[in-house]
């Protein structure tokens, strides 16, 4: 039986992989921050304004863990790209403490903070007399939940506007819920 050793990475190949890893980690981190700002933070503004309907994408709370781990990944990949060496800081160094703290932060956020924020959001919605409305949910979007402040806003939509507001045909007129108010 013949065994072969895997070819060693050349310096150029290592740096290219590190650069690609950096781009992926930075991209995922930026996307996670964007998604949180665009889809999670508005929930609390809508609660404050007492919007007629609020869309809560519960899976998006899991993205809270991404920024710390992606920052650590980006730092390690940038170091590897810049120096051509594997990121392996000494145990007591500031970089090692930073890397460890980012990993721990991500795990704690995913295991403790994200579920806690989702539960607190649900309790706040219930406290403010919102009720869950599964009829407003689009087909195939089981991870989104709509909450309405009045039972009349809970209906099976006939169509949606370009802003994804649900609409219903009533007496030849199209009535839509403004999800931003």
Instruction: For residue range 122-138, list pLDDT tens digits in order.
Output: 999 999 999 998 888 77
pLDDT at 4 over 60: no
- Determine the average pLDDT of the residues in 23-51: 95
> How far is 109 from 71, CA to CA, in rounded Å?
15
- Is residue 6 domain-resident? no
pLDDT at 163 over 80: no
Owning domain of residue 139: 11-176
Where residue 180 falls among pLDDT bands split at 50, 70, 90? low
- Determine the average pLDDT of the residues in 2-25: 80
Where residue 159 falls among pLDDT bands split at 50, 70, 90? confident
- Determine the average pLDDT of the residues in 101-126: 96
- Is residue 77 domain-resident? yes
Domain count, the chain: 1
- Is residue 16 domain-resident? yes
- At 135 the pLDDT is 85
- At 5 the pLDDT is 45
pLDDT at 166 over 90: no
* Nearest CA-CA partner of 74 in 114, 37, 30, 9: 30
- Is residue 60 domain-resident? yes
- At 139 the pLDDT is 67
- Is residue 154 domain-resident? yes
- Is residue 120 domain-resident? yes
- Is residue 35 domain-resident? yes
- Is residue 133 domain-resident? yes
Question: Which ranges in the chain belong to alpha helices (H)?
Answer: 11-35, 41-49, 66-83, 94-108, 114-127
């Amino acid at each position: 039986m013949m065994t072969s050793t895997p070819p060693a990475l050349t310096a150029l190949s290592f740096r290219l992989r590190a650069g690609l890893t950096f781009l992926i980690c930075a991209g995922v981190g930026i996307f996670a921050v964007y998604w949180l700002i665009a889809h999670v933070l508005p929930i609390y503004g809508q609660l404050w304004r007492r919007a007629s309907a609020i869309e809560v994408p519960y899976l998006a709370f899991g993205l809270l863990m991404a920024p710390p781990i992606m920052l650590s990944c980006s730092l390690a990949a940038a170091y590897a790209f810049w120096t051509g060496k594997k990121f392996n800081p000494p145990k007591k160094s500031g970089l090692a403490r930073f890397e460890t703290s980012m990993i721990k932060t991500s795990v704690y956020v995913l295991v403790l903070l994200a579920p806690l924020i989702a539960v607190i959001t649900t309790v706040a919605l219930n406290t403010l007399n919102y009720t869950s409305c599964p009829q407003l949910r689009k087909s195939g979007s089981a991870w989104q939940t709509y909450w309405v402040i009045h039972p009349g806003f809970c209906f099976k939509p006939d169509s949606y506007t370009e802003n994804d507001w649900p609409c219903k045909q009533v007496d030849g007129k199209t009535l839509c819920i403004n999800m931003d108010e």
